[in-house]
Structure 1
Amino acid sequence: MPYLIAGILLLAFVANVVIGAVSNAPLVNNIWEMLILFAAAIAFSIGILRSEAKEISEKKSKE
């Protein structure tokens, strides 16, 4: 789920950049762009940490 959230936020950022490049009027300002990227990075980090925790617990259960 965190990867999905990160992907959606990243797509929103890319869409904003593309729309801003084509029409010279981005949908959100620079602060919101930063917050969208920050939220995407946090969601991706949570996904990585969950994946690592799951992998470690699976290794311990095999031992």
Structure 2
Amino acid sequence: MFLAASIVVFALYFANVALGAFANAAVVGDVGEMLVLFTASILFVVAILKKEADHKDKNGS
């Protein structure tokens, strides 16, 4: 769930950057881009940590 959310948020970030680069029509400003990228990073880290915890529980180590 967190990994899918991270992918979606990063896709929104990428779409905004692409719109700004090619069409000069960015929806979000610099601070907004930073917050979106930060959110995608946090969601990705949470997903990886949850997956690692599940793996440790499964293997009992």
Identity of matched residues, %: 34
Which AA in structure 2 matches 1:23? A
Q: CA RMSD in A?
A: 1.2
| 5+ long unaligned stretches in structure 2 | none
Q: Tell me what 2:41 maps to.
A: 41
1:7-59 deviations in Å (ceiling 9; x for gaps): 00100011001111111121100000000000000000000000000000001
Q: Tell me what 1:52 maps to.
A: 52
Q: Matched residue pairs, number?
A: 61
Q: Tell me what 2:8 maps to.
A: 8
| 5+ long unaligned stretches in structure 1 | none
Structure of greater Rg: 1
Output the CA distance in 2 between the equivalents of 1:21 and 1:38: 20
Runs of 4+ off more than 4 Å = none
